[in-house]
Structure 1
Amino acid sequence: MLKEIAKEKLSEVVKAIVPIVAIVLILSVTIVPMPTHVVMVFFYGCILLMIGMVFFTIGSEQAMEPMGKQVGARITKTRKLYLILPLGLLLGFMITISEPDLQVLANQVQSIPNSVLIMSVSGGVAFFLVMALVRMVVGIPLQRMLLFFYVIAFVLAYYTPRDFLAVAFDSGGVTTGPMTVPFIMAFGVGVSALRGTKHSSQDSFGLIALCSIGPIISVLLLGLIFRPENATYEAITVPKVLHSMQLGGMFMDEIPNQVREIAQAVVPIAIFFAIFQTILLHLEKKALVRITNGIFFTFIGLVLFLTGANVGFIPAGFDLGSILAAMSYNWIIVPIGMLIGYFIIKAEPAVYVLMKQVEDITDGAISGQALQRSLSIGVAISVGLAMVRVLTGIHLFYMLIPGYAIALLLTFVVPPIFTAIAFDSGGVASGPMTATFLLPFAMGACMTVGGNVVTDAFGVVTMVAMTPLVAIQCLGLAYKLKSRKVQKPQVQEDTLEGFGDYDIIDL
């Protein structure tokens, strides 16, 4: 059984990663003369990354999702807010402080101490996870909360130093990565299922959306009281590789660092679940063995994935961006960035978690493939706009304000389930691939053209997180128009009840 699942996951992963490898390799032998040792490190990094994704996706299905559902359902059964909310706060903080994406971003933001940034972001996620739980219990429409908190975020941004803007909005994207998404989404399913209302399954979406706002607001507040010293950014380089043993040594040297970081991420969650199991859950032995195996697979998968990404992808992304920006026709970085953006979303581990849960919750009415295709289009546009910023130095506000204005206006005309999925997708799209390849890609290009890395290169993560909000809601608008054409008046468009009555939408 496990062997069959592994084969299926490997097939999915190969289809996801091969396009990115092909793009980089084709560019390196045509218009971008990348050093041979950088290409070799990138290639071997891809192999580790693919193996890691297979282990992670299996582990997520066996451990992170069941753990989230069980914990969410059990604490909600108590019907005691004084227990639900503090546990939600604790879980939000623990799961975020251990998020690998956040560690990657913190290491690249040299203007703010790592611990300060990580604690601020984790606190923001924890607080907004509590707000999301309150919304589910009380029944507040997601649209109203999104509008309210994004208005607060942009008001704060107006008064925050410019050096904090891009980092603040980027932090909202990286917090919802491979550790956070499966657990929090499953946690939401467990909590919402016990409401017993006709909208309970839809309420499970929106947690990621609200948790993505928390870090933005917390880092913007940090910017009002914290004045960092000027930071200097140095080029990312790869030591020249003379033989295969040296190449293998580069990856072997990184593995202990990743083991340590991922252990800090996984062990606290495993300990928390063990305590919860002993006191409240009392799951059967078979379920516990499955979850234990899943935790092990998740751990191995993340170690391999992040080792491949950090050693192979960061330098390759930086070099690729630097060389393209140095060309006389450096505008070509815009279409190339869009091409990379279109395919890189397929390599994000958390996207597959979201696709599966969307299909499960909607009984297949919303196709996972249609969701992924919409995300790819959105991310391609966002990376193109980010490259325009790198070349021109356009203020981030000139892109964020129109983008979020369109996204928030669409919430008034599309079915609510699509709004929730869209804002969740924004956080999911900006995962480890964005932090380890696209951000260095933008940094390399920015340093080459003489731009300001803090204001012009940072911001690519939030751009990736923003455009899916519009793309997925456009998918929802198409869904709504399609439902009118087939004339099914018995289905209420504002709730999208009876998902099975519609054909699967596959644009």
Structure 2
Amino acid sequence: MEQLRLFWIMLRGSFGDLAPIIAVIAFFQIFILQQMPDNLLSVATGLFIVAVGLALFIQGLEVGIFPVGENLAQEFARKGSAFWLLLFAFLIGFSTTIAEPALIAIADKAAVISNGKIDALVLRLTVAFSVGFAIALGTFRILTGHPIHFYIITGYIIVVTLTFFVPPEIVGLAYDSGGVTTSTVTVPLVAALGVGLASSIRGRNPVIDGFGLIAFASLTPMIFVQVYGIVVYASGNGEAIAAVAQSVSEHVEHSRTVGQQALVLLLELIDVIKDVLPILAVIFFFQYAIIKKQVPYLRRIVFGIVLVILGLYAFIVGLEMGLFPIGETMALQLTEQDNRLLIYLFAFLIGFSTTMAEPALLAIAIKVEEISAGKIRQMVLRIAVAAGVAVGIALGAYRIVAGDPIHYYIIAGYIIVIILTYFAPRYIIPIAYDSGGVTTSTVTVPLVAALGLGLATNIEGRSPLVDGFGLIAFASLFPMITVMAYGVITEFSAGRTKTQHKEEFE
């Protein structure tokens, strides 16, 4: 009965989260494009399924994923073995990333567009290894208590330096790779690991030290993919792996054909289970083989994991039924319009609305409000992040239309992040860094990638490989700026309030 009541609360919240997306689509369809979608019933049904899936997913996180992640972190802290903890962190990062649907989609697209120059499997392995390395490095930072900004700023300097040596074809892809690594399931588990570890070590603050692992997972792939790009384009052996791109292309076409049949629903459920299984395998192996303890409240944990799988499955099915088709159609229709301002407005609004409905962001925002004892409100944090994504995607769309090199924008953004780091309150910095990784997940990545590639394909003089990638990087960068700005403004306002109260008292 309690679980049903909790589900009803989650469901109402889900419909509230989807309201901005529905409003944006309705506004553009009625007032801008002045036509109703052909598949209106399918769109409405899909959005309803998305709401149900989102509610089940969040309930499953609360019941299963968060508790098991925090319990593992605490057990590792008690065991006192840094080796096993760092190995666990690496395997969680690697196993969850190699099967990440968003990464698979981007890697396949890159292989096809580059005519086999970029190998999809090698790219996925490169990114997965980098994420495993990132989670291990972030865990090491929590153990040592080092300030996070030393690591992150050093990473930005490496990214910026490498940019000047990387072929133009790889720059946008490398920047995007940092945004597609953090999946809807990975983010909550990694966040629970970091918070649980920081809570278990004396002298660590869960807010200041617990967050930040996702930021590492968003940063290191950019470095690794840039190095991979330098090696690939220096070797010039594109013909040798052209067959890989062809087979990928045929596989994508085959999937599209199968997708027209009812069997696709079963295949998608199997895909979701396959995405979750590596995470469960790593968790239960370390729980029983290394820590050698039973999982507490096992039935409750299993129930929560089942809810996560069902919720994520319903969420994906609903997106494919309702949101993706109309989003891609609208992107194409807008590129055919003469008014470029409509493209920027659509990019801004779709960025804001999809981010507000992003499950990974919602999961992190819930955890932030809980750990900060209400000091950081989940709704305010989500609005700040969504505003950053909206500005980032709109600016990224302008960059594609104008044909400007992406690295000028990204480098300028990193400089702003570095400057804000020294003015923002300490408690907001790891959360701000993490916010760049949680914005680009299940909802945002496919729509944003479709918009970028659609613009680059339909605008004369633009290359899909050089110009089409990069929007996800904008969507990851600008939330860091808006969240740190939110922290600066909050602290400034609190300081002014204290000063006024002091003057009134005197």
Q: Same fold (TM over 0.5)?
A: yes
Question: Which residue identity does 1:443 align to in structure 2?
Answer: L
Distance in structure 2 (CA, Å) of the matches to 1:158 and 1:34: 46
Report what 1:206 is aligned to: 212
- CA gap of 1:226–1:35, structure 2 versus 1, over 3 A, is farther
8 Å Cα contact 1:205-1:417 kept in structure 2: no
Please say if 1:461 is aligned against 2:472. Answer: yes
Alpha-carbon shift at residue 315 of structure 1 (Å): 3.2
Distance in structure 2 (CA, Å) of the matches to 1:350 and 1:296: 17
Q: What pairs up with 1:172-187 in 2 under 5 angstroms? A: 172-187=178-193
Report what 1:19 is aligned to: 20
Report what 1:171 is aligned to: 177
Q: How many residues align?
A: 478
Distance in structure 2 (CA, Å) of the matches to 1:276 and 1:125: 19
Q: What pairs up with 1:289-438 in 2 under 5 angstroms? A: 289-438=299-448
Alpha-carbon shift at residue 119 of structure 1 (Å): 1.0
Q: After superposing the two structures, state which structure 1 stretch, 68-77 or 194-203, moved more.
A: 194-203
Report what 1:495 is aligned to: none
Three-state SS of the structure 1 residue aligned to 2:208 is helix
8 Å Cα contact 2:206-2:371 kept in structure 1: no
Question: Which residue identity does 2:57 align to in structure 1?
Answer: F
Question: Which residue identity does 1:323 align to in structure 2?
Answer: Q
Q: What pairs up with 1:74-153 in 2 under 5 angstroms? A: 74-109=75-110, 110=112, 111=114, 112-153=118-159
Report what 1:486 is aligned to: 497
8 Å Cα contact 1:64-1:183 kept in structure 2: yes
Alpha-carbon shift at residue 251 of structure 1 (Å): 7.5
Alpha-carbon shift at residue 308 of structure 1 (Å): 2.7
Structure 1: any 5+ residue segments left out of the alignment?
Answer: 239-245, 489-507
8 Å Cα contact 2:57-2:310 kept in structure 1: yes
Report what 1:71 is aligned to: 72
Report what 1:160 is aligned to: 166
Question: Which residue identity does 2:31 align to in structure 1?
Answer: T
- CA gap of 1:44–1:118, structure 2 versus 1, over 3 A, is farther
Residues 32-87 of structure 1 show CA distances to partners (whole Å, capped at 9, x for unaligned) of 26684455544433233222212211111122211211221212222222222222
Distance in structure 2 (CA, Å) of the matches to 1:250 and 1:40: 17
8 Å Cα contact 1:319-1:441 kept in structure 2: no
Alpha-carbon shift at residue 150 of structure 1 (Å): 1.0
8 Å Cα contact 1:176-1:212 kept in structure 2: yes
8 Å Cα contact 2:195-2:210 kept in structure 1: yes
- CA gap of 1:267–1:189, structure 2 versus 1, over 3 A, is same
TM-score normalised by structure 2 residue count: 0.88
Among all aligned residue pairs of Structure 1 and Structure 2, give the percentage whose two residues are the same amino acid: 26
Three-state SS of the structure 1 residue aligned to 2:443 is helix
8 Å Cα contact 1:429-1:464 kept in structure 2: yes
8 Å Cα contact 2:207-2:368 kept in structure 1: no
Alpha-carbon shift at residue 479 of structure 1 (Å): 1.9
Residues 122-148 of structure 1 show CA distances to partners (whole Å, capped at 9, x for unaligned) of 100110111111111112111111111
- CA gap of 1:340–1:379, structure 2 versus 1, over 3 A, is same
- CA gap of 1:75–1:65, structure 2 versus 1, over 3 A, is same
Q: What pairs up with 1:240-251 in 2 under 5 angstroms? A: 250=260
Distance in structure 2 (CA, Å) of the matches to 1:373 and 1:473: 13
Report what 1:470 is aligned to: 481
8 Å Cα contact 1:34-1:319 kept in structure 2: no
Report what 1:500 is aligned to: none
Distance in structure 1 (CA, Å) of the matches to 2:484 and 2:199: 25
8 Å Cα contact 1:209-1:424 kept in structure 2: yes
Structure 2: any 5+ residue segments left out of the alignment?
Answer: 500-506
Three-state SS of the structure 2 residue aligned to 1:159 is coil
8 Å Cα contact 2:167-2:230 kept in structure 1: yes
Three-state SS of the structure 1 residue aligned to 2:25 is helix
Three-state SS of the structure 2 residue aligned to 1:173 is coil
TM-score normalised by structure 1 residue count: 0.88
